[in-house]
Chains A and B, each alone.
Chain A
Amino acid sequence: MSGRTLDDGLRAIGLVLIGLVILFLLIPIAVTAVMAFDARPYLGPLPPPALSLRWFARFFSDDYFLNGLLTSVELACLSVAVSLGAGVATAFALDRARFAGKEAAVTLFLSPLIVPPVVTGFALLLFLAELGLLNGFARLLCGHIIITIPYTIRATLAGLAGIDRSLTEAALTLGATERHAFWDVTFPLARTGIVSGAIFAFAVSMDDVSVSIMLTDAHTYTLPIALVSSMRANFDLSIAAASVMLMLLTLALIVILERSVGLNRAIGQGVFR
């Protein structure tokens, strides 16, 4: 039967395709990880003849990178704190609210996810200049809050949606005050959503370029901005060393996510941009 031969042919093509896709996804990462440990003082062909930590040392002796790293960490912690506070409160209010335009309100609160980030950054740049706010860190903070808050709102909403309402009602029937029912029942149950929201928000803040590049000034810049500009200037391997550390950060966040929430659940709570 020609149908069956076609099947075998297609199956073979499919397997080759899968192999190529997996190689395409993983090889660049492996190459970067190996090159980061290259002992040569220049960017040479693979494989490196000897390994060393020179590029890591170079990264940590470069004030430009260290400055960016410090700003990034400060910015991520502060913006996640604000986004978490405001976002969780907003999600609770939206979850409880019963008004006609509720769906539309939720969409509005998630809309920064759809608007191209460069547009968000540019709009914010013009607006803050109009207001006379020119401090680099304050501007970056505003930008990072608005790009991270949809993640905390969405993940908290997803966490709340999974809660059986009868649990809160049971607590109230059994004599708990509303405040108690909230802090002892609803909040702990929504915790996984809140945690995954915080992790997504942190990852987004640490990785952002498109919004930050509009809002930085000569003295205040994030690590991704420092990396991008040195990537354009000279393509040296201290960026590979930085990449390895960023990969480890990603891996750490994934492990925390898996341990605290579970990956399948976290995907359900919206990892997508």
Chain B
Amino acid sequence: MAKAGRTLPLILPGGAVFLAFFFLPLAGLFVESFRLYTPGSIGSSANAPFTLANYAELLTPAFAEFFLETIRISLLASLAGLVFAFVLAYWIARRLEQRRRALAVGLLVTLMFLSVLVRTYALELTFGAAGPLRSLLLALGISPNGRGYIELLVGAGLLHYIIPMATLTLLATIQNVDPRLVDAAQALGAPAWKAHLSITLPLSVRGLLAAFLFAFSFSISAFVIPMILGKGRVLFISNLIYTRFSEIADYPSGAAISIVLFAVAIAFVYVMSRQINRRWAA
């Protein structure tokens, strides 16, 4: 067996990349988030005093609104995606024969790999204000530029990625549930919906949690989808960070928002993975 000591130096190039392009920048971002910003300047000056103002600002209702909006749309899209993906995954796993199932998996992987730009553009072209649905929407009394519809469109953008991703995650889980359990329950007189509710669903909890983890953490850090489909009416936290940088050059405030988003994302992944691992061990 090769000695670990001899291969350990191989970690150095990767380690250097991570230190220089990731860990040090993040540490710098953390420091910047406590710098005092003088309006009108670009970023903070080199020895600006430290302050908590950039964080205090985030507690004002105007800012809290952005966070709540991001979390609300992300949560709804993730939960809806989980429902759609579960039904789709069940159908693919149980109702399709081998070759069609392979085809479905190929299609889902392709959809997941699809460029986020293509996805957003395609959705805007199809469901947006200038799209073929325009007259139908107007006939139904829905304004394609109304806030509700725009929020729905952003959610649809998230779902277009979440559904293929969650379906692939759940496919493996559902395939591992022994179909004879449901058959047995039905043979003993349970209706199918009850058999699934008490057998398929509980046995899929781990897969559902994993899919929710991917879906929600993807959604709260989404950038392109809300930027294009939100048309400036719906802004996610990521978009807010970008405007702080591009429009007013208030780097310390952008840094503080980044640190909060970073903390939320990490905390969510940490809590969820612990839940998932606990279920794995049990």
Contacts and interface: CB of A to CB of B under 8 A. Distances in A.
Interface of A: 1, 3-4, 6-7, 10-11, 14, 17-18, 21-22, 24-25, 27-29, 31-32, 35, 43, 45-46, 82, 85-87, 89-90, 92-94, 96-99, 108-109, 111-112, 114-120, 122-130, 142-143, 145-146, 149, 153, 165, 168-169, 172, 178, 181-182, 203, 206-207, 209-210, 213-214, 224, 227-228, 231-232, 235, 239-240, 243, 246-247, 249-251, 253-254, 257-258, 263-264, 266-267, 271-273
Interface in B188-238: 190-194, 214, 217-218, 220-221, 223-224, 227-228, 237-238
B17 A149 contact: yes
Contacts of B125: 28, 31-32, 35, 235, 240
B62 interface: no
B140 to A, nearest CB: 17
A207 B117 contact: yes
A64 to B, nearest CB: 15
A122 B18 contact: no
B266 interface: yes
A118 B242 contact: yes
A250 B11 CA distance: 31
A228 B115 contact: no
B117 A267 contact: no
A254 B221 contact: no
25 contacts: A3-B191, A14-B91, A24-B163, A28-B127, A29-B114, A32-B121, A93-B9, A96-B2, A96-B7, A98-B4, A118-B238, A119-B29, A122-B258, A123-B25, A125-B245, A126-B29, A146-B17, A146-B22, A168-B1, A178-B2, A203-B113, A213-B242, A246-B115, A257-B109, A266-B109
B61 interface: no
Interface string B227-266: 1100000000110011001000001001100100110011
Contacts of B262: 115-116, 119
A146 B21 contact: yes
> Chain B's interface: helix, strand, loop or mixed, by majority?
helix
B109 A127 contact: no
A209 B223 contact: yes
A169 B2 CA distance: 9
B11 A90 contact: yes
A4 B194 CA distance: 10
A57 B117 CA distance: 20
B109 A4 contact: no
B22 A21 contact: no
Nearest to B11: A93
B14 interface: yes
A53 B126 CA distance: 20
Contact of B13 (A85, A206, A240, A249): A85
> Chain A's interface: helix, strand, loop or mixed, by majority?
helix
A96 B16 CA distance: 19
Given A97-B4, A272-B214, A254 B11 contact: no
A122 B255 contact: yes
Given A116-B262, A123-B258, A258-B106, A232 B29 contact: no
Contacts of B126: 27-28, 31-32
Contact of B118 (A114, A126, A247): A247
Most chain B beta carbons < 10 A, residue from A11, A122, A210, A253: A122
Contacts of B254: 122
Most chain A beta carbons < 10 A, residue from B9, B32, B117: B117
Nearest to A89: B10
B91 A18 contact: yes
Interface residues of B, number: 91
Interface of B: 1-2, 4, 6-11, 13-18, 20-22, 24-26, 28-29, 32, 43, 84, 87-88, 91, 105-106, 109-128, 130-132, 134, 156, 159-160, 163-165, 168-169, 190-194, 214, 217-218, 220-221, 223-224, 227-228, 237-238, 241-242, 245, 251, 254-255, 258, 261-262, 265-266, 269
Contacts of A124: 21, 25
A6 B191 CA distance: 8
Given A3-B191, A28-B119, 5 more contacts: A85-B13, A114-B265, A146-B21, A224-B115, A250-B118
A214 B191 contact: no
B43 to A, nearest CB: 7
Contacts of A127: 24-25, 28-29
